Structure 1
Amino acid sequence: MRSLLIPIAILFSNISHSLPLEKITLPPDFKIELYAKGVDNARQMALGDKGTLFVGSRKEGKVYALIDNDGDYKADKVIDIASKLFMPSGIAYHQGDLYVAEVDKIWRYSNIEASLPSVPTPELVYGKLPNKSHHGWKFIAFGPDGKLYIPVGAPCNVCESELPFATILKLDTVTKNSKIVATGVRNSVGFDFHPKTGDLWFTDNGRDMMGDDLPDDELNHVSKEGQFFGFPYIHNDDIHDPKFTSPEKAKHNRKPALKLGAHVAALGMEFYQGKQFPAEYQNNIFIAEHGSWNRSKKVGYRIVRVVLEGDRVVNSEVFASGWLQGEESWGRPVSVLTLPDGSLLVSDDAADAIYRISYEK
C-alpha cells in the first residue's frame, strides 16, 4: 500500500471563471457554482462528520481530502491522502473511518478527520477481490445493515465469467465474510439504498458494439438478495445477446426499473433526502451520466432526475445539462452527494472539478 502525504494546496474561488458554468441548464431557481477545481480525475465522494469532503480518482490513482474552512461552500484546501493506488475510484466514510477501494483491495484509514492534515497509516480490510482492471474500478457504500457493498464488474465488454465477476457483493468488515447480493450485473458504478425500504438500487452500464441505440443502460432494483440481472445473456428485458444467447438463463432476468438510454454511461446515483430542494424532490433519485465514448452522436453528460411512487418509476427527466455542447464536451459528471444543507455536489473527472447545485426560491 502506497500512502503519501502531499503539502496542502490552496484552491482559490476566483478560478470559477475558467469553466463555462453559464452553459449548464437547470430548473428555475436552481444554480450551479464551483465547489473545487484542480481535483484531478474526481470520482466518488464521501463526507466526513466534520465536513471534510473525501474524493477518489481513477486514472490519477489518488485520494483527496477537501476542506472548506470558512463554510462558504468553496474548498479552501486540498490534501492528497494517497497516491499511486490501483484505480481508487470508490470511497466511503463510516463511523469515523475512511474506506478506499482499489481494484483488488479495500483499505481503511481509521479516525481520519482527527489526524488531518497528517494521514493515518492505512490497514488492509479485504484483499480477495479480482485484480482485473477492465471494469475493475469500484463504487462502494455501506448499507443499512452495516455491510460494505462492493461491485465486481465483468472483465470484458461481454463474456461469460466466473463469480464473483459481474456481481454486487457485500462485505462484513469485521468478520471479512462476503456474500453476493446480485448477479448478472455487467458494470455498476453507482448505487444507493431506498430511504424507506432499505432496498438496493443501482445503475448498470450496458454492453458496447451493438450499435448506437442498443442496449440501454439501466436503473435496477434489488428486491431480494441473489436476483439475476441478465448479463451476458439478455440485456434490458428483451434483447438476447447475439453471442451468449441462453433462453433458459435469460428467463430468470429481473427487468430494469428504468431504461436510461444506450451509451449514456450512468454512474453515481443517490436518493435525495435533503431539505433545501422543493418537497417534490424528496426521495427522488439523481443519476450522473458520464457520457458516451463510442456512439456516432454523443449522449449523456448530464444529471437525470428519477421520480418514484413506492418501488415504481413514474417519471424521469433531465435535471442538469450543458457539459455537452454539440459534439464537444467540456465536462463529464461522475457522482452526486447531498450536503447537510441540502445542496447537491457533482464530481467531474474530465474538468477535474466539484460543483455545488443549490436552490433558492
Structure 2
Amino acid sequence: MPIGAEAAVARDRSAAETRQDAAFRTMLFAAAALVLIVLGAAALSMLWGGRLAFQTFGWRFIVSDDWDAVGRHFGAFVPIYGTLATSAIAMIIAIPVSFGIALFLTEIAPGWLQAPIAAAIELLAGIPSIIYGMWGLFSFVPFMSDHVLPWVDRHLGALPWIGALFRGPPLGIGMLTAGIVLGIMVIPFISSVMRDVFRTVPASLKESAYALGSTTWEVVWKVVLPYTRSAVVGGIFLGLGRALGETMAVTFVLGNAHQLSASLLAPGNSIAATIANEFTEADSDIYLSSLIALGFLLFVVTLIVLAIARLMLRNLARREGR
C-alpha cells in the first residue's frame, strides 16, 4: 500500500477513534448529569409541594411541636426529633456490634466459620424492613414491655441528670424500642462494609506487627483501623443514611404519637412514619402540603448528614496525606 494511502487510513482510523471517544465521554457525562437532574427534580418537587406549609407557618413549621389535623396547625419538630433520636440510638448500638462482627470475621474466626456467618449477615441485609417491623411489634415489644423496660425505669430512671431519658411507663412501643429494632436492621449493612474494608489491609502489614510482638488488639487498633479509617467512616454514615430514611420497621414500633417527651420510653413519631401513616388521610391542601414539606425536610437532613460525611472523609484523607 502506498505511503499516502497508509497515512489516509491512519487519519480515518484516528478520526473514528476520536468520534467514538467523544461519544463515550458524552454518554458518561449524560449518566452523571441524569443523577443530578433526578436529585434536583425530586428536591424541587417536594419544595414546591410543601410551599403552602412553609408560606403559612414559616420557621414555626420546623420548631413547633403542634400537629393538629382538625385545627390545621402543623409543626415538624416532633417527627424531626423522633427521626434523629431513633437514628442516634440505632447507631450507638450498630457501630460497636458491627465493629465486633467485622473484626471477628477478618482477624479471629477460622475459615470454616467465616462463610456461614457472612451468609447470615447477607441474609439479614436482604430481609424486607416490614418483616423487622412485624417481628418488633409481635415479639420484641412484648419482651421489652415485660422484661427490659420495667428494669430500665426502676434503675436507670432514678439516675441524676440522665434519669429523665429512661423514666416512664413500660409500654413496649417507643423511641428506645424503635431505635433498637432500627439498630438491628442496619447492623448487616455496616458490618458488611467494614468486613470488606478490613480485608483490604495488606497481610504484610499485619504480619510485620505480629512479628514485632503485637497482640491482636494492638494490630487492630494500630494497623487495621488507621489503614481503613476513611472507609470505615463512610460505611458508618451509609448506615446512618439508611436509618434516617427507614419507614416500615419504625412505624410498627414507634407508637406514632405526636407528643414531645424527654423519655425514650414514651411513644413518638418520625418523618417517614408520619408520611406513611397520614398521607392517605390528608383531607386539606395545608395538610397534604405539610406532609410533603416533611419529606423535603427529611431530604435536607439526609443531605446534611452526607455532606458532613464527605467533609470528615476529606479531613481524614488530608491528615493521612492523600
TM tier, smaller: under 0.3
**TM-score relative to the length of structure 2:** 0.23
**TM-score relative to the length of structure 1:** 0.21
More strand by share: 1
More helix by share: 2
